[in-house]
Amino acid sequence: MPIEIKLLSSPGWEDYELVDSGNGAKLERFGPYTFARPDHQAVWRPAKTEKVWGAAHGIFHPTGEESGGRWEFKKPVPAAWQMHYKGLALWARTGGSRHLGIFPEQAAHWDWIEGQVRAAQQPVRVLNLFGYTGVATLAAARAGAQVTHVDASKKTVAQARENQALSGLDDRPIRWIVDDALKFIRREARRNAFYEGLILDPPKFGRGPKGEVWELFEALPSLLDECRAILSKSLKFVVFTAYAIRASALTIHYALDEMVSDRRGNQETGELVTVERSAGRMLSNAIYTRWANEAAGEQE
């Protein structure tokens, strides 16, 4: 069957916008602050003038390391500031990498996850692997899910818990786990723990809390095979995002398709994009594939 590659944007933002892009960089607004960050996909010319780009609060200068580099601040920027998305309150911050604690293009997934949990009309246990600062976790929990959030970074999990408190969701059933993803899944399988929802957003490269090395393309087959063992018989959804520049959307489409081959559902595959305010161009941020149980889709 032919696969339709979809472009998925997130038009619901008020606190974020892609102002301009070009010459291997993107100019973005996070709340009241603007930042210029590298993006190899922006091979065209910027639509805005050098003056506009030069007025950015911060410019990230990359090094050869993955996400490594340094920030140059042209104007004062606080250590952290609040952003909001459809009732969720989140901390944005600059640090030792180009990332700001929020991936705005993921908002399309947050909305979809909430819709899947609400459509289930029954208790849903969700596992968020590589959960980062936890916005997808909060979206699922707000919709009524019991969420297990796993990330190898103790600092990142602490930031996710700060977002939980800021969003007023302290009373929601969320387990915060600092652990290596594969080791955690294997333990859950031995405990016969099952989940109706699975969120996967693995990094291209990383290290676990005890120095375990993670490389996406080497670990992906094992990861999906291990995940299969903890999927509930009443699985409702799986969403898988990858920021790996060596892969196409077809790569992860067929990987997920194989994992859920014994189940009836609908799969959607494509790219997460942000739409530029200045010229309307779409900047590709990641590839994704997501699957939903057919019955759940009928209830939406």
The predicted model scores a pTM of: 0.92
What pLDDT was estimated at residue 298? Answer: 41
What pLDDT was estimated at residue 207? Answer: 64
Contact 8, 108 (CB under 8 A): yes
Contact 59, 69 (CB under 8 A): no
> Is pLDDT of 300 > 80?
no
What pLDDT was estimated at residue 96? Answer: 82
**Which neighbouring-strand residues pair with 207?**
213
Tens of pLDDT, residue by residue over 130-163, are 999 999 999 999 999 999 999 999 999 999 999 9
CA 126-132-135 angle, 5° bins? 60
What pLDDT was estimated at residue 69? Answer: 87
Contact 294, 30 (CB under 8 A): no
Contact 167, 88 (CB under 8 A): yes
Q: Which residue has the higher pLDDT, 70 or 66?
A: 70
Lookup result for tokens 């939980």: 164
What pLDDT was estimated at residue 65? Answer: 59
Element at 171 (helix H, strand E): none
Tens of pLDDT, residue by residue over 73-120, are 999 999 999 999 999 999 999 988 899 999 999 999 999 999 999 999
Which domains does the chain possess? 12-92 (2.60.40.1180), 104-299 (3.40.50.150)
> Is pLDDT of 71 > 50?
yes
Three-class DSSP category at 100 = coil
Q: How many CB atoms lie within 10 A of CB 164?
A: 22
User: What whole-number percentage of the chain has pLDDT above 70?
Assistant: 93
Three-class DSSP category at 131 = coil
Lowest-confidence region among 22-36, 167-181, 211-225:
211-225
Tens of pLDDT, residue by residue over 235-263, are 999 999 998 666 789 989 999 999 999 99
Please report the beta strands in the chain, taking only residues with DSSP state E, as ranges in sequence order.
5-8, 16-22, 25-30, 33-38, 58-62, 69-73, 81-85, 88-92, 125-129, 146-151, 174-178, 197-200, 205-207, 213-215, 237-242, 265-275, 282-293
User: What whole-number percentage of the chain has pLDDT above 90?
Assistant: 80
Lowest-confidence region among 31-45, 173-187, 237-251, 264-278:
237-251
